[in-house]
Amino acid sequence: MKQEISSLMDGELFEDEAEGLLDRIKHDSSSLMDWEMYHLIGDVLRQPEHIHCDLSARVRKRMQDEPVILAPRGRAVKQKVRAFALSAAASLLAVGMVVWMSLQISPEAAPQIAMQQTANRPVNLQIQSNSNEYLMAHQEFSPSTEMNGGASYIHTVSYGTDEK
C-alpha cells in the first residue's frame, strides 16, 4: 500500500489505478495518514526552511469553526450592482457640481447677480444723489467717526457719489 502511494505521488500510476487508490486512501485512515506524511516529507525535502506539522488538520479544524454563511447568491450580485449605481450617481453628481461651480465662477455670472441685487433694492436715483448730504450730516456725530477718524467719511465719497 505504501509502495502504491509512493508510486501515485511520483506519478507512476495509470489514471484508473490512481483513481482506485485515491478512493481507497479516502476510506482508510492509516493510508490517509501515510499520504499526508509522504507529502510532508516531500515538502521538507524541497523546502527545508518551511517545516510545518499537520497544517491540514489545523486548517480543517478552523474551517469547521467558521460559521456557515447561508446566503442566496443572487442578492450579493444585486448589492454589487446597487453599489456601482450609487458610486456612478455620486461621480455624476461630482461632475455636475464642478460644472455648476465653474458656471458660478464664470465672469458673466457675477455682474448678473450684482445687477439682480441692485434691481431688487428699492433705490431711488433722486434719493441717491440727495443722500450724501444726510450721510455727511450724520457722519459728524457718529461714533464711527471717532473710532475710524476721517476714514469713515469714505461713505460720502464712495463710488456711489458718482452714480447720479
Q: Which stretch binds other proteins (CB under 8 A): 34-42, 79-87, 93-101, 150-158?
A: 150-158
Question: Does 7 contact other proteins by CB under 8 A?
Answer: no
Q: Name residues contacting other proteins, limited to 95-114 (CB under 8 A).
A: 110, 114
Rank residues 11 and 149 by Cβ distance to other proteins and give the closer one. Answer: 149
Question: Does 131 contact other proteins by CB under 8 A?
Answer: yes
Q: Which stretch binds other proteins (CB under 8 A): 2-10, 11-19, 23-31, 121-129?
A: 121-129
Question: Does 94 contact other proteins by CB under 8 A?
Answer: no
Give which of 34, 30, 28, 29 is closest to 7, Cα–Cα: 34
Structural contact between residues 115 and 95, judged by C-beta atoms closer than 8 angstroms = no
Q: Name residues contacting other proteins, limited to 28-87 (CB under 8 A).
A: none
Question: Does 162 contact other proteins by CB under 8 A?
Answer: yes
Question: Does 13 contact other proteins by CB under 8 A?
Answer: no
Rank residues 59 and 123 by Cβ distance to other proteins and give the closer one. Answer: 123
Q: What is the 3-state secondary structure (H, E, C) of the chain?
A: CHHHHHHHHCCCCCHHHHHHHHHHHHHCHHHHHHHHHHHHHHHHHHCCCCCCCCHHHHHHHHHHHCCCCCCCHHHHHHHHHHHHHHHHHHHHHHHHHHHHHHHHHCCCHHHHHHHHHHHHCCCCHHHHHHHHHHHHHHHCCCHHHHHHHHHHHHHHHCHHHHCC
Q: Which stretch binds other proteins (CB under 8 A): 67-75, 78-86, 100-108, 117-125?
A: 117-125
**Which positions lie near other proteins, rule CB under 8 A?**
110, 114, 121-124, 126-128, 130-131, 133-138, 140-151, 153-162
